[in-house]
Structure 1
Amino acid sequence: MTTSKPHRSSFLLLCSGMALVTLTLLLASCSSTSPGSRGPSSSRLDQWGNRAGPQGFNTVVVDAGHGGRDSGAVSRRTGLVEKTLTLDLARRLRSELGGSFRVVMVRDSDVFVDLDDRVRIANKRGDSVLVSIHFNAGSRRLAGPETYWWRVDSYTLAKRVQRNLTGVSAQDNSRGLVRRRLRLTRNPMVPCILVEGGYITNTREAKSLANPAYRAQLARAIAAALREQAAQGDGNLGPLPGFISAPPSRHGDARDS
């Protein structure tokens, strides 16, 4: 019977080793999915935006939505065309930011730029944030600004921009923050938000949007949020949202923009 003891000891050592390996893998898996972790896959998660919000950045990529053959939203009732408004607001935002940041314009004329090309332009600038400018359309009863985001590192910037736009809105309301996986909120490797400055299909709001002075207020509001984000980072805007793993957005995805 004494000859069985070495075999039993080897078996127990093997089981203990397997349990230790399993526990190590489980701990590594948990740590790699938490915001701010530095686990084995943290560098890849960082590219997906699973990190703190930007601070100290010196470049803002300003994307005037639509353009060229893509008019965006068009309101026959109010006569407003989204691509024209987005370019105007983008230029005003550039002027507001000129003394504080390097500004990269995705388009500076009435030209078409593919969504994936817009992402590539943003990805060429490492220490930057992307602000994509749009205007909404829908039921004539709908009004107010809203700001889209997806990445964890884009949340506080979106929150600041939405807060400032709500303060400007003639509707005195807010459509709020919307977490949505779009090509311009999910795919860039830099913090990125998509701003809807208001509804061109709402008669009252369209009257404001048609006024250059009002669009200047919108530009100042966005610029102030960017300066605050660069200076304070996430600041005291509350806990960051949870990370959501999702593949890049592609053409044909629901509500792609």
Structure 2
Amino acid sequence: MASLTNHIQLFSAVLVSAAVLFGGYSNTARAAEETTAAIGPVFPVASDVRIAGDDKQTRFILDLDKKIPIRAFALADPYRVVVDLPQVTFRLDSGAGTAARGLIKAFRYGLVMPGGSRIVFDLNGPAKIKSAYALDPANGQPARLVVELESVDRATFDQALAADGRSELRPAIETTAVVTRAAAPNSAPDTRPVVVIDPGHGGIDNGTQAGTETEKSLVLSFGLALRDRIEKAGKYRVVMTRTDDTFIPLNDRVKIGRNQSAALFVSIHADALPRGEGDAQGATIYTLSDRASDAEAERLADSENKADAIGGVNLTEEPTDVADILIDLAQRETRTFSNHLARLLVGEMKNTARMHKHPLKSAGFRVLKAPDVPSVLIELGYVSNKADLQQLVSESWRSKTVGAIAQAIDAFFARRVVSAVPAN
């Protein structure tokens, strides 16, 4: 993505140079600049998509309103092809990406970082990128992005992967954005406890979905409301893992908590049962455990832990856990605090929200694995349940439930402060 940044910087420099060459900043140029600043940048628009071919060769075509630079590469286990491009406004049909054709099982698209979008193809088997290019508009046809795939065996696929020589296959997010309120100039250090709020999914990763309602949007709205409620009290400093529709890899979410020396990490999600597996309802609070508390908890953890694969992150490059006795001791203490918070959350939320029949569960969620940060994952409800979904989109319900969570956080810190004061 460094090349993408260079393209954007070069494009900006060209615009400035053009303004100087053609008479400096004219009134028209200045007015255009002010308008752009007011409405935000105008991104290229993707308007249509087509897939052609068979299980030997498959071509993907995306119509755009302008030519853009692209970068394509393959990933294994599972087989995927990733196309990185500048930030694009996707105006495709709602069902785009769900139908299989040729070598492409399905594809998804969306934002992976500010200024950068991504398309990820799930493949039916090993395939090489025969070509990937962008075309200028010509003969009444729009600009196009074209990716041509060709079926190969595993050995050929591995050779192509090695020949690519790419030492870093994760999304080109140079530094993970930490979203917090700016401190006043020359102000004293903020020593308040740090609470990290982590709205799940985002960008290319929609999470669960019911009609037009996506988990990533529902939990972002809830997370922002929770941030505002906590900040209003002024007791804690709040850090968000995301404040917009951006994809954040799981490991980077954990790093945000650790880098900020967080006293608490709260991940917000909404569940859904797979079609044909019955119905379930109510909120659930999850804590970390090596062994899932039940089959449903294990299913959910497996699903949530695939977020990086959905976004095109190469999971083989994730660091292995350090098996150290000090880490183990820290994790035990952290899990004790996490379990305490989970019980407080259930106690408060049951007064405002419908709770699952077994509201306290545990499983191996990667996003909860910081060894020194008490962490919980709140599943607000099931988007697959009509009654739960009706609550999830209700501002009244959101306000009451946000208040309950804020009260539980207050009770959690009050208990820790009291326990930290030695008895006379």
Q: Above 0.5 in TM-score?
A: yes
Superposition TM-score tier, normalisation by shorter sequence:
0.5 to 0.7
CA distance in 2, matches of 1:101, 1:57: 5
Paired position in structure 1 for 2:205? 70
Which residue identity does 1:155 align to in structure 2?
A: N
Paired position in structure 1 for 2:382? 199
The 1:217/1:190 distance shift into structure 2, 3 A limit, reads: same
Of stretches 183-192 and 61-70 in structure 1, the one that deviates more from structure 2 is: 183-192
Shift in Å, 1:233: 3.0
Is the 1:57–1:129 Cα contact (8 Å) retained in structure 2? no
Paired position in structure 2 for 1:31? none
| Residue 241 of structure 2 corresponds to residue 106 of structure 1 | yes
Of stretches 64-73 and 125-134 in structure 1, the one that deviates more from structure 2 is: 125-134
Paired position in structure 2 for 1:84? 217
| Residue 283 of structure 2 corresponds to residue 142 of structure 1 | no
CA distance in 1, matches of 2:361, 2:383: 19
Shift in Å, 1:173: 4.9
The 1:158/1:123 distance shift into structure 2, 3 A limit, reads: same
**Residue number among 230, 254, 265 corresponding to 1:97 in the alignment:** 230
Of stretches 178-187 and 143-152 in structure 1, the one that deviates more from structure 2 is: 178-187
Q: Over residues 126-167 of structure 1, what are the superposed CA-to-partner deviations in whole Å (9 max), with x where a residue is unaligned?
A: 251100000111156200000111222211101111222222
CA distance in 2, matches of 1:188, 1:117: 15
The 1:65/1:188 distance shift into structure 2, 3 A limit, reads: farther
Helix, strand or coil at the partner of 2:245: coil
CA distance in 2, matches of 1:70, 1:173: 25
Higher relative contact order (CA 8 A, sep 6+): 1
The count of aligned residue pairs is: 178
Of stretches 88-97 and 160-169 in structure 1, the one that deviates more from structure 2 is: 160-169
* TM-score, with structure 2 as normaliser: 0.40
* TM-score, with structure 1 as normaliser: 0.64
Helix, strand or coil at the partner of 1:167: coil
Paired position in structure 1 for 2:294? none
Paired position in structure 2 for 1:129? 264
Which residue identity does 1:124 align to in structure 2?
A: N
Which residue identity does 1:141 align to in structure 2?
A: D
Helix, strand or coil at the partner of 2:350: helix
The 1:185/1:90 distance shift into structure 2, 3 A limit, reads: same
The 1:95/1:109 distance shift into structure 2, 3 A limit, reads: same
Is the 2:226–2:402 Cα contact (8 Å) retained in structure 1? yes
Q: Over residues 62-93 of structure 1, what are the superposed CA-to-partner deviations in whole Å (9 max), with x where a residue is unaligned?
A: 001000000000013xx421000110011011
Paired position in structure 2 for 1:165? 349
Of stretches 118-127 and 223-232 in structure 1, the one that deviates more from structure 2 is: 118-127
Which residue identity does 1:208 align to in structure 2?
A: Q
Percentage of identical aligned residues: 31
Of stretches 142-151 and 178-187 in structure 1, the one that deviates more from structure 2 is: 178-187
Query: How well do the aligned residues superpose, as a CA RMSD in angstroms?
Result: 2.1
Unaligned runs of 5+ in 2: 1-190, 289-334, 420-424
